[in-house]
Chain A
Amino acid sequence: MPKITSKPHALTDKPFHYCPGCTHGIAHRLVAEVLDELGMEDRTVGIASVGCSVFTYDYFSCDMVQAPHGRAPAVGTGVKRARPDNIVFTYQGDGDLAAIGTAETVHAAARGENITSIFINNTIYGMTGGQMAPTTLPGQITQTTPYGRDVSEAGYPLRVCEMLSTLDGVALAQRAALDSVKHVNEAKKAIRKAFEYQDEKLGYTIVELLSTCPTNWGLSTEDSLQWLRDKMIPYYPLGVYKDIKEVRR
């Protein structure tokens, strides 16, 4: 029987541990496909963060370093400064990148560090069981906002791409979503562009991927995708917030 498809080479054979309906699997595959297509796996070092995606070090075939919570951009900076010819990416969730690691994220971006951050925004802390994240929507119910996120108490969510787009060191800041074929294709193009820009040493690149967490949202896979469309995209509009090549034009 002819082989018509296979997993990307940049993914190992280790089965994912993710919950059914979680979009981490799609994000992993997109990153791996891009590494394959650009022939980069051999010289890539991925930085795993803390959260559900901590085990990415078992899933990507490239060399991997596991970073403390929030510190992936600093660890990535260390790798990149030591090995400027390596391709370095961080894979971080919203709690990791936009709460505990905000300083590391902002300053890696401000330095124009030639690394790429794949930012999974699913509005919740997944691994610890569904607490409020910096990206939890106003009114959203989580384990630690049981009556819904009250912005008068808990403040407002962070729009990371918008915020980082103001920094001169950022080469690409783009938000995509993993809810439909169309959006997944856009996400892949954004990831590819981010790695290409890194290789051209244009500066810091970040691709934010609106993602689902059916388990902690308490929704079915299908309803989760619909919730992403109905609730997340209006608050976190998709699109390119900064593209250094567009700016230059």
Chain B
Amino acid sequence: MSERVLMKGNEALAEAAIAAGCRHFFGYPITPQTEVAAYMAKRMPKVNGVYLQAESEVASINMVLGAAAAGVRVMTSTSSPGVSLMAEGISYIAGSDLPMLIVNVQRGGPGLGGIQPSQADYFQATKSTGHGDFHMIVLAPSTVQEMVDLVAGAFELGDRYRMPTMVLSDGMLGQMMEPVVLPEPTGDELPEKPWAACGHGGEREHNVVNSLYIQPHDLERLVIERYKRYDEIKRKEQRAEEYLTEDAEIIVVAYGASSRVSRSAVNKAREDGIKAGLIRPITLWPFPDDAIGKAADSKKTKRFLTVEMSMGQMVEDVRLAVNGRKPVEFYGRTGGVIPTPKEVYDQIVKLSGGA
């Protein structure tokens, strides 16, 4: 299926998940992710899959937990307030070493906030999605095509490292239509899950999927083992796109929707002779420390400018990666307001010492 089709981000993502062998979807309605669930409700019965609308996000993430524990490829999608409700379940899923995919089509917050695009869930996605020491792998697409391309990989990473993965989208990417080439459905067998709770069939000891370890030393040992896996992921799985960074003096760092705006601003700056470039993190956890660090070491780099649709969240990770080597500035709009290329361009001009 190499044909290009015009699709909404949310629907393309859903189709890509089905192509990746996902046959179980549990969710609860919330704007602006509704198309994912609606698409799944339409498509899953046609591929002998399961679509189930839960009574709440609390329930849907726990249905995901159950299906993941039973060893199937499973996902849910929601938007910001929904992730807050799922936080408990995500922590249990991480503590039980279960793979599953959660899509967050971000909207403005805090509280009921708004329904327009936002990137204010960066902290929630990368630092504190629930209680306890744990991480999710967080992938941030910036086009409908990339949304599709990242989904299969998200399932595979989750299976490989036995942990939850999140695609961090937003209301703009979810709602916009772009041409996209959908992947071929996977003909591959999904990976074996010998740890799954699906009936021992009299052939093995019982499997227990659990996150409770009442002895402190046992719990500590398991968490430390999990963090060794996290270290491996940090070494192997960092991803970022670098655009015109080679000779750049001003390096804009932005992901997802705000990276599209930033790219336009960088292009405009280049037209005006300003040496601007863009680093676009694709993995938010693990954060692309290496790409940012390399740019911070470059003699050409003078300043970093982080652009987000939030009051400044990822900028903290940019500062940690830069580690004082160069100044790191921030520009953001929030509450569902999308920055314009002109606004970002003006920031670049200001930092370059221009008018």
Q: Which residues of A contact B (CB under 8 A)?
A: 12, 41-45, 47-48, 54, 57-58, 60-68, 71, 74-83, 85-87, 103-104, 106-107
Q: Any chain A CB within 8 A of the CB of B355?
A: no
- Known contacts: A42-B200, A64-B206. The answer to whether A79 contacts B67 by CB under 8 A is yes
Chain B stretch 151-210: residues in CB contact (< 8 A) with chain A: 196-202, 206-210
The list of the 7 closest CB pairs from A to B, nearest first, reads A78-B66, A74-B62, A63-B197, A78-B63, A43-B199, A75-B66, A78-B67
- Known contacts: A71-B58, A71-B89, A82-B50. The answer to whether A42 contacts B66 by CB under 8 A is no
Q: What 9 additional pairs, Cβ within 8 angstroms, besides A76-B66, A103-B55, A106-B55? A: A42-B201, A45-B199, A63-B196, A68-B92, A74-B58, A79-B198, A80-B66, A81-B63, A82-B198
Q: Which of A71, A74, A104 has the most CB of B within 10 A?
A: A74
- In the assembled complex, the Cα of A106 lies from the Cα of B50 at a distance in Å of 21
Q: Is the CB of B69 within 8 A of A62?
A: no
A76: chain B residues within 8 A (beta carbon): 66
- Known contacts: A42-B202, A64-B210, A66-B209. The answer to whether A77 contacts B66 by CB under 8 A is yes
- In the assembled complex, the Cα of A77 lies from the Cα of B74 at a distance in Å of 13
- Known contacts: A57-B208, A103-B55. The answer to whether A79 contacts B26 by CB under 8 A is no
Chain B stretch 64-114: residues in CB contact (< 8 A) with chain A: 64-72, 74, 88-89, 92, 96
Other-chain contact of B199, A48, A74, A86, A107 (Cβ < 8 Å): A86
Q: Any chain A CB within 8 A of the CB of B124?
A: no
- Known contacts: A68-B88, A76-B66, A77-B63. The answer to whether A45 contacts B197 by CB under 8 A is yes
B58: chain A residues within 8 A (beta carbon): 71, 74, 103-104
Q: Is the CB of B200 within 8 A of A75?
A: no
Distance (whole angstroms) from the CB of A132 to the closest CB of chain B: 23
Distance (whole angstroms) from the CB of A103 to the closest CB of chain B: 6
B291: chain A residues within 8 A (beta carbon): none
Other-chain contact of B198, A83, A104, A107 (Cβ < 8 Å): A83
- In the assembled complex, the Cα of A77 lies from the Cα of B56 at a distance in Å of 14
28 contacts between A and B (CB under 8 A): A43-B201, A45-B70, A47-B66, A54-B212, A63-B197, A63-B200, A65-B66, A65-B197, A65-B210, A66-B209, A66-B211, A66-B212, A67-B92, A68-B62, A68-B88, A71-B89, A74-B65, A74-B66, A75-B62, A77-B52, A78-B26, A78-B62, A78-B63, A78-B69, A79-B67, A82-B67, A82-B72, A107-B54
A62: chain B residues within 8 A (beta carbon): 199-200, 206
Distance (whole angstroms) from the CB of B36 to the closest CB of chain A: 18
B197: chain A residues within 8 A (beta carbon): 45, 63-65, 79
Q: Any chain A CB within 8 A of the CB of B135?
A: no
Residue of A nearest to B24 (CB): A82
Q: Is the CB of B70 within 8 A of A79?
A: yes
Residue of B nearest to A104 (CB): B59
Other-chain contact of A82, B66, B96, B211 (Cβ < 8 Å): B66
Q: Is the CB of B70 within 8 A of A74?
A: no
